[in-house]
Structure 1
Amino acid sequence: MKYDIQKVRNIGISAHIDSGKTTLSERILYFTKRIHAIHDVKGKDGVGATMDSMELERERGITIASAATFCEWKGHDINLIDTPGHVDFTIEVERSLRVLDGAILVLCSVGGVQSQSITVDQQMKRYNVPCIAFVNKCDRTGASPDRVISQLREKLGHNAWAMQIPVGLENDHIGVVDLITMKAFYFDGDSGDDIREEEIPADLLEKAKEKRDELIDAASLFSDELTEVILEEGEVTNKMLMEAIRQGTLLRQMTPVFMGSAYKNKGVQLLLDAVTTLLPAPPDVSNEALDLDNAEEPIVLASETEKPVVALAFKLEDGAYGQLTYLRVYQGILEKGSTVINVRTGKKIKVGRLVRMHADQMEEIDKVPAGMIGAIFGVDCASGDTFADPSLNVSLTSMFVPKPVISLSIIPKDNKAQINMSKALNRFTKEDPTFNTFVDEETNETIIEGMGELHLEVYVERMKREYKAEVETGKPRVAYRETILQKAEFNYTHRKQTGGAGQYGRVAGYLEPLEEGEFEFVNNVTGGAIPTNFIPACEKGFKACMDKGPSLEFPVTGVRVVINDGASHAVDSSEMAFQAAARGAFLEGYAKAKPTVLEPIMKVVVETPSEFQGNVMGTINQRRGMIVGSSDEGPMSIIEAQVPLAEMFGYSTVLRSGTQGKAQFTMEFATYRQVPVSVMDDIRKEVEELKKKRGK
């Protein structure tokens, strides 16, 4: 069978927690004959969903790591990636979207556009990924696809149009009406395998005609041919309409909306048809690389198999046979036995085993052509590395990696746990760029950092299960920052006289708050008061002070240092002397510049039944939270707030007990803000106690 790149689709499924992403992937695998039985996500039948291959994922009923699989539908090859919904695993979504050409945005017909849907949508925007929407759970009480479509327009700014209307909602949801073919589709049999096509029920005919006209109007913006036919009052063919909708979708200027219920096996096959007809093939998407030989000039990669190979490693996994590296090939063919170069390290790599993944199972293949996703074994590389033909020196741009906001100390129980813990940490930090680890020099504790409580909790749990590393965890610590509030001058002379040449350097200027960014160094020295060759040493000295604030030892951020004067000595001045002078100058200026502490503020969104709304608002206020807004979506209340991370530890337990377990919340990092005076005193006390402990 000849490889046809036009018949390849690389798609991802992304959505808010519990919108049904993994259930939908499970149904897609079933209908494309990749699996022969459907299993429940929550693992009630003891098996769990195919894509949630980790034991922990099955227990919790959530997706932690994105899983890749491959399936075929009506002659098309579909590479599918199921991504997590939790904000803590946001990097999994980022890295998947980086290599996808299109996506399915899944929305719950009751919850509609939720907080995480907004985050996922922003990520799609960042990588310019065209998407189609699927309104899932139309069988649930309170389902309203029309409300979801209007939210897509208002909250996300999508030009969303229904491609279908449901036949019955809630318990009566039995099928959908397709507005292109103007036929009603029903899904019969135990698993919805038998599709029955009938005329539209009489009571829905008017509505269907009206919605089809709206769809034609919206699509006419993307096709001159269609506009002409409408003006001449000719007949709009299905092919013409689909072509126009596809154009709008590829430009990200139109979002076609499909509906159904993945759990009840309704509407999934029609969604698969939409993936093959509306979402882009690899050549429809322009992919750029940076030419490293030519000042990082962007060059467009051609999705052609004859060109030299360029591939991106977007995800790493430590398997039983060594490191497994997921690759997306953008140009050329990656063949078994061929040689490629890792552009970042310059190392040549001979491609050994090539496999195609299906969740945690794999099949051997000989080559991965342009546009496809595969995996290679035993190659030492990092997430985001580019592999290219030795004749090319190009790099694919890296991903956006958010900084960690929370840390935790972990202590192994014995020597065996220590060895296993370091193995686990080594693997996890390699696989997940948002998970960091380091040893605190002063307390000698191992500290892990991540995106949230759940993020760290999952890794600690994985250490215990997968590596048998028994560890105890300390109290979570917040990533505080220090900054200054006003301008302050400094004029510092560093003098040290020992036997032989001494050290001498004078640095003068001022510090001031910086609106955007972490650190800026400005050199306004004139007349050679400080020789030019010592200026970098001054900058180095100032920069070194940013790692630890003089008062509370948190990293310093938002400072501009301007030097405008100084003095040097013909014999005694050296780079070391000016670094020391810069450090002294920083301490002098910093003390006068009103230093303060900043704390991470989280955007928290709570979904609760309306009767508990007052209770929930109370719990947020107690935690120094600021309520930004609240809205009612059917029987549920959505409360948006900004709360300091320090106050959010253990919030899930408080929320569950205050709402009979019916409320849930998501949180993600929003910004850094100054801490109130009373809290500042508590932080000071904490730091003092830590210092005393170290003193012992």
Structure 2
Amino acid sequence: MALSMLLPRIARATTRANVAPAFRCAAGPLSFARRWASSSSSSSAQPTAEDISRLKHLRNIGISAHIDSGKTTVTERILYYTGRIKEIHEVRGKDNVGATMDWMDLEREKGITIQSAATYAQWGDTNLNIIDTPGHVDFTIEVERALRVLDGAVLVLCSVSGVQSQTITVDRQMRRYNVPRISFINKMDRAGANPTRIIEQIRTKLKLPAAALQVPIGAEDAFEGVVDLLTQKAVYYKGARGEDIVYADVPSHLVDTVQAARDELVATLAEVDDEIGELFIEEKTPTEDQLRDAIRRATIARKFTPVLMGSAIKDKGIQTLLDAVIRYLPDSTEVKNTMLDLDNNEQVVDVVPYSNQPFVGLAFKLEEGKYGQLTYIRVYQGRLEKGQFAYHVKTGKKVKISRLVRMHSNSMEDVDSVGAGEICALFGIDCASGDTFTDGTINCSMSTMFVPESVISLSLTPKDKNSPNFSKALNRFQREDPTFRVHVDSESKQTIISGMGELHLDIYVERMRREYNVDCVTGKPQVAFRETATKRSEFTYTHKKQSGGAGQFARVIGYIEPIDPEQQAELPHEFVNNVVGGNIPTNYIPACEKGYMDGLQDGFMVGHPIVGVRMVLQDGAAHSVDSSELAFRLAAFHAFRESFKASNPRVLEPLMTVEVSAPLEFQGNVLGSLNKRKGLIIDTETQEDYCVVSAEVPLNNMFGYSTELRSATQGKGEFSMEYKRHSPVLPNVQEDLIKEYQKKLAEKK
């Protein structure tokens, strides 16, 4: 590596900033006694040595990856080697028991993780809180809320498929919540395993400096173990289930490979760590301890990811992965978390992660248990004890902690108290996902998680219309899952459920049948179309109504214009008041904004919400007697409607990133099927005897694709799909949608 390239990189200073989206919460009605100043105040109580020792020996980690990369299999081995379980069961095992963390019947039947599951274990003298997350994009909220409360993560990658679409999504979520990660290349026993290519994909596709800490001994069927680059010792996993670790000298045929890989590790670290960079410039060889310290610093700073490898299904590589988790991922004291001080204009203050501070906890996941609602809480500050009272910041309600448990999948262990940094669960607490609890001495709110918009809807009708369980089930599912939404169509009076994909909604319909004994009939899936304006359109609208007595009068003048598509994620719509001179009294301006918001709800072309439009109010007129809030609200609504129709409006549809993996012999069939569905091919990559095709396809054209893909690839192909953005539909499609909507309106008259 050229010295001129290295020096600027070494010189760059880096800082860690928390950029998680803030949860703006109004203070509850309860009046809190202010006995707490800033977390950095010198008057704060000093943590005890015992508490510091406990936190230094605690790791909160998540296992995340693309679907079918082996997350649950890795977690099962972690539980076995830590002594948490006595037997190993597989995700699709022949014994029909299923993996420990996939406890739902639906998960075991389908062989996928649907809900994130929490557990705890001990490795050496370190306690681990572990959350196994789903890989399917339909359940992305489960990954989102898990990463929100974790201090570190293990990113599992397949040794053949490598970085896939959901891997990129998980990477984005880790960056959103500033979560450091270790990368684990799994399935080293598979045909076509190529860890070197996977590491290069981490660097290029995820834009993250990465280097291997191990070199594999053999590959595919001949995979035996790994060589540790830091100790330069071979590691073999012997015994019936790989529980016996045997260290040996590096095999002679790998000596040169190991030295080259170690040099690459040092060179990569030199780019992201000052100490190793100085040694590299001085051409000194860093010691094992210096390398370990540098890897830990760079990993926690999220400037580097160490890469380990193994095969969970063959019981190889998990113990060394656990060692790396403890060595390189942060404890709770090394992670910066912030909260909003609601008594001080929502000023951002640091959370102090010690047990002798005022209690602050975040409810991040809800489940309906046999004893009522089960609320998962991450304790960020202070201590939570059985029998104490906690305050719900959003409502100001005081609740008693009657039962406190630690979760192991779907089983529980009662505990009397938990300290800062721990994850636990409570019963009998009425709250929503993302709510903050305190001990009442401080009035603050934690930042909450990002919730993506739903992309697909379908109508739902219970066969037994008198069943009270129908609404009960829908209410519960909405509380559990923020991406699952329910509303009643104002015209058809049908119940419409919305979610992240077909599988997402299918799972909830099936859960309704199994858990609530409610059979439902579902309608045709409906895509979440949107409408938008494409050019500026001016309006001058006068609303007059006179029918004896006081009438209605309001005049509004202004224009609407499209918002820049790049800003629409942050600003889907905007109302701007530029009225001067009091032509419209200020007390009527909010009514004008309400009229504009009314117009956004149901579009005028196909009946879907309008996005990406700014309404600018410039002038108007009012009558001293006949003007009212209602008059101006109606005037703004009709003005917006007329100007929108003149703004060359377009219908937008969800555009999905689709990634298809299939044997190379079926590449032509895959490309043909995507082209037939009006997909735009973005990339085609060949991996040994497999091909991976990436494309952008309208969601409306993807229904039934799984069946077609199975048929076109003899059941050997698989695909994943993720929402990317809303994009204009083709003119002929827009015309058809408008005709269909007009026909529907005519039938209702």
TM-score (structure 2 length as normaliser): 0.91
What secondary structure does 1:546 align onto?
helix
> Aligned pair in 2 of structure 1 residues 121, 225: CA closer, same or farther (>3 Å)?
closer
Alpha-carbon distance in 2 for matches of 1:70, 1:26: 12
Alpha-carbon distance in 1 for matches of 2:739, 2:344: 54
Matches within 5 A, 1:23-42: 23-42=73-92
CA contact (8 A) 1:105 1:134 kept: yes
What secondary structure does 2:142 align onto?
helix
Q: Deviations over 1:334-368 (max 9, x none)?
A: 11111111111111111110000000000000111
CA contact (8 A) 2:210 2:268 kept: no
Alpha-carbon distance in 2 for matches of 1:222, 1:490: 57
Cα displacement (A) at 1:221: 5.3
Say if 2:338 is the partner of 1:288: yes
Task: Report the counterpart of residue 593 of structure 1 in structure 2.
Answer: 647
Query: Which of 667, 674, 684 matches 1:630?
Result: 684
Cα displacement (A) at 1:574: 1.1
Alpha-carbon distance in 1 for matches of 2:205, 2:283: 35
What secondary structure does 2:326 align onto?
helix
Count the aligned residue pairs.
694
Alpha-carbon distance in 2 for matches of 1:628, 1:238: 43
Cα displacement (A) at 1:220: 4.4
> Aligned pair in 2 of structure 1 residues 222, 568: CA closer, same or farther (>3 Å)?
closer
CA contact (8 A) 2:155 2:184 kept: yes
Query: Which of 631, 639, 659 matches 1:577?
Result: 631
Task: Report the counterpart of residue 491 of structure 2 in structure 1.
Answer: 442
What secondary structure does 2:344 align onto?
coil
What secondary structure does 1:382 align onto?
coil
- Greater RCO (CA < 8 Å, at least 6 residues apart): 2
Alpha-carbon distance in 2 for matches of 1:493, 1:382: 44
Say if 2:261 is the partner of 1:211: yes
Cα displacement (A) at 1:222: 5.9
What secondary structure does 2:643 align onto?
helix
Matches within 5 A, 1:239-638: 239-415=289-465, 418-515=467-564, 516-517=567-568, 518-638=572-692
Q: Which moved more, 1:226-235 or 1:543-552?
A: 226-235
Task: Report the counterpart of residue 12 of structure 1 in structure 2.
Answer: 62
CA contact (8 A) 1:43 1:61 kept: no
Q: Deviations over 1:292-333 (max 9, x none)?
A: 112221100111111101110010000000000001011110
CA contact (8 A) 1:7 1:75 kept: yes
Cα displacement (A) at 1:76: 0.3
Say if 2:741 is the partner of 1:687: yes
Alpha-carbon distance in 2 for matches of 1:478, 1:87: 17
Alpha-carbon distance in 2 for matches of 1:485, 1:563: 19
Task: Report the counterpart of residue 66 of structure 1 in structure 2.
Answer: 116
Q: Give 5+ residue unaligned stretches, structure 1.
A: none
Cα displacement (A) at 1:235: 6.4
Q: Deviations over 1:265-311 (max 9, x none)?
A: 00100000000111000000000001111222110011111110111
CA contact (8 A) 1:43 1:58 kept: no
Alpha-carbon distance in 1 for matches of 2:649, 2:73: 51
CA contact (8 A) 1:606 1:664 kept: yes
Cα displacement (A) at 1:231: 6.6
CA contact (8 A) 1:166 1:175 kept: yes
Say if 2:178 is the partner of 1:124: no
Query: Which of 708, 711, 719 matches 1:657?
Result: 711
Q: Give 5+ residue unaligned stretches, structure 2.
A: 1-48
Alpha-carbon distance in 2 for matches of 1:692, 1:51: 52
Alpha-carbon distance in 2 for matches of 1:663, 1:520: 44
CA contact (8 A) 1:310 1:329 kept: yes
> Aligned pair in 2 of structure 1 residues 693, 189: CA closer, same or farther (>3 Å)?
farther
What secondary structure does 2:623 align onto?
coil
Cα displacement (A) at 1:637: 1.1
Query: Which of 194, 200, 204 matches 2:250?
Result: 200
> Aligned pair in 2 of structure 1 residues 617, 501: CA closer, same or farther (>3 Å)?
same
Matches within 5 A, 1:84-233: 84-220=134-270
Q: Deviations over 1:146-205 (max 9, x none)?
A: 111111111111111110011110111011111111111111111101111111111112
Cα displacement (A) at 1:228: 6.1
Alpha-carbon distance in 1 for matches of 2:673, 2:431: 46
> Aligned pair in 2 of structure 1 residues 520, 231: CA closer, same or farther (>3 Å)?
closer
> Aligned pair in 2 of structure 1 residues 486, 213: CA closer, same or farther (>3 Å)?
closer
Q: Given residue 482 of structure 1, which amino acid in structure 2 is its aligned partner? A: E
Cα displacement (A) at 1:233: 6.8
CA contact (8 A) 1:222 1:247 kept: no
Alpha-carbon distance in 1 for matches of 2:115, 2:284: 51
Q: Given residue 142 of structure 2, which amino acid in structure 1 is its aligned partner? A: E
TM-score (structure 1 length as normaliser): 0.97
Q: Given residue 187 of structure 1, which amino acid in structure 2 is its aligned partner? A: Y
What secondary structure does 1:22 align onto?
helix
Q: Deviations over 1:576-628 (max 9, x none)?
A: 11111111211221222222211111111111111111111111111121111
What secondary structure does 2:468 align onto?
helix
Q: Given residue 420 of structure 1, which amino acid in structure 2 is its aligned partner? A: N
CA contact (8 A) 1:596 1:674 kept: yes
CA contact (8 A) 1:163 1:257 kept: yes
> Aligned pair in 2 of structure 1 residues 236, 523: CA closer, same or farther (>3 Å)?
closer
What secondary structure does 1:495 align onto?
strand
Cα displacement (A) at 1:42: 1.2
What secondary structure does 2:601 align onto?
coil
Q: Given residue 405 of structure 2, which amino acid in structure 1 is its aligned partner? A: V
CA contact (8 A) 1:43 1:59 kept: no
Q: Which moved more, 1:305-314 or 1:527-536?
A: 527-536
Alpha-carbon distance in 1 for matches of 2:542, 2:494: 37
CA contact (8 A) 2:383 2:417 kept: yes
Cα displacement (A) at 1:2: 5.3
Q: RMSD in angstroms over aligned alpha carbons?
A: 1.6
Query: Which of 58, 77, 84 matches 2:127?
Result: 77
Q: Which moved more, 1:443-452 or 1:519-528?
A: 519-528
Alpha-carbon distance in 1 for matches of 2:491, 2:275: 72
Alpha-carbon distance in 1 for matches of 2:676, 2:272: 52
